[in-house]
Structure 1
Amino acid sequence: MISQRDDLAEKIYAISVLQQNFVIERLKTLHLNGLQSRSLSFIAEHSGTMQRDLANYLGKQQATVTNILKVLEERGLIYREIPKNNERQKNIYLTTEGEEMVKKVQAIFQELGKHIESAFSPEEQQQFTEFLKRAEEQLT
C-alpha cells in the first residue's frame, strides 16, 4: 500500500503549496497579494479590459474586484477611463508604474521556473511536461 505522503496526487498538491508559498513571499516584498498580481497581469495582457472580464478571469464577485481595483488605483498602478461611446462602463489600463510592477511580478515567476527547471535535464523537462499535460487532461 502506498502511504499518503508518496501518493502522486499528494505530491502534486505539496508542490503546489510550496510554489504558492514561494510566490506569496516574494509578492509581499512588492506589497501585493495574489489577486492583485493576477489582476495586473490580466490588465497587462488585456489593456482596456472591463471589470466584468477581470471578475470572470479571477472567478470573483464584482464587489471583490471593485475592492482590488480601488487599491491598485490608489497605489497608482492602474487607471480607469470612461469611453465616449459608453458612459456606463470603465476600461482599465496600467499606468507606467503598473507596467513596471508587472515586470517585477513576471520576474518572480521566471525565478520560480528556473528553480524548478534546474532540477531536471532538458529531456526530463520535456518528459515531465508531457506527464503533467496528461494529468491535466484527466481532470478536465
Structure 2
Amino acid sequence: MNFGQDNQVVEYLFLVDQDEQHYIQEQLKQVGLNVMQARALNFIDQNPGAHQQDLAKQLGKQDASTTNILKVLEGRQLITRRLQPGNGRQKQLFLLPDGQALIVKVRSVFTNLEKRATTPLTKSEQATLLATLKKIHAELSKSNDD
C-alpha cells in the first residue's frame, strides 16, 4: 500500500500494524488460540472472579459472542465459570491450571514481539518512539468533533 509522500507516517503505522497482527496471529495459532481467546484469558488472569459482562465490555463484544468465546475456553479446560454466591445469574470467571500455563505462553508472544520491534533501536530511540506514539494515540483518540 502506498499513500504517497504526504502520508508516510500513516502508511508506516499501517504497515507496522499489519506486521504486528500477522506475527501475533501466527504465534497464537501455534498455541491453539485466536486473538479474542488470548485477550479473554489475559483479562481473566488479570481479573480473577470478574463477571462475563466485564469481559464482554473489555472485548467490545456482545454477550452472546463472549459466551461463545468462553464456551470454547471452558471446553478446553482453560477456564471455569462459577455462579456468584448469592446470585444465581452472574457467573464469575477463573483460570484453570491449563489456562494459567497457557497465559504464560501468550505473554511470551508479546514479550518476543517487543524484543523484535525494539532490537534495532537504542534506548533513547525507544523512549522517543514511545513518547511519539503516545502523542499520536492521544490525538487519534480524541472525539471527531471537527
Instruction: Check the 8 A contact 1:5/1:11 in 2, yes or no.
Output: no
TM-score norm. by structure 1 comes to 0.95
Equivalent position of 1:53 in the other structure? 54
Q: Using the alignment, how far apart are the partners of 1:60 and 1:104 within structure 2?
A: 24
Divergent runs of 4+, >2 A: none
Aligned-residue Cα RMSD (Å) equals 1.4
Q: Which amino acid aligns with 2:44?
A: I
Question: Deviation at 1:5?
Answer: 9.1
Instruction: Select between 79-88 and 38-47 the one with higher mean Cα deviation.
Output: 79-88
Equivalent position of 1:106 in the other structure? 107
5+ unaligned residues in a row in structure 1: which ranges? none
Instruction: Please list the CA deviations of residues 53-78 of structure 1 after superposition, one character each: whole Å capped at 9, or x if unmatched.
Output: 00000000111001000000000000
Counterpart of 1:107 in 2: which secondary structure? helix
Instruction: Select between 78-87 and 62-71 the one with higher mean Cα deviation.
Output: 78-87
Q: Using the alignment, how far apart are the partners of 1:90 and 1:10 within structure 2?
A: 43
Give % identity: 37
Q: Using the alignment, how far apart are the partners of 1:5 and 1:11 within structure 2?
A: 12
TM-score norm. by structure 2 comes to 0.92
Equivalent position of 1:95 in the other structure? 96
Q: Which amino acid aligns with 1:7?
A: Q
**CA distance change for structure 1 residues 134 and 31 in 2, over 3 Å: closer, same or farther?**
same
Counterpart of 1:36 in 2: which secondary structure? helix
Instruction: Count residues in correspondence.
Output: 139
Equivalent position of 2:137 in the other structure? 136
1:50-89 equivalence runs, <5 A? 50-89=51-90
Question: Deviation at 1:4?
Answer: 5.8
Question: Deviation at 1:125?
Answer: 0.3
Instruction: Check the 8 A contact 1:76/1:98 in 2, yes or no.
Output: yes
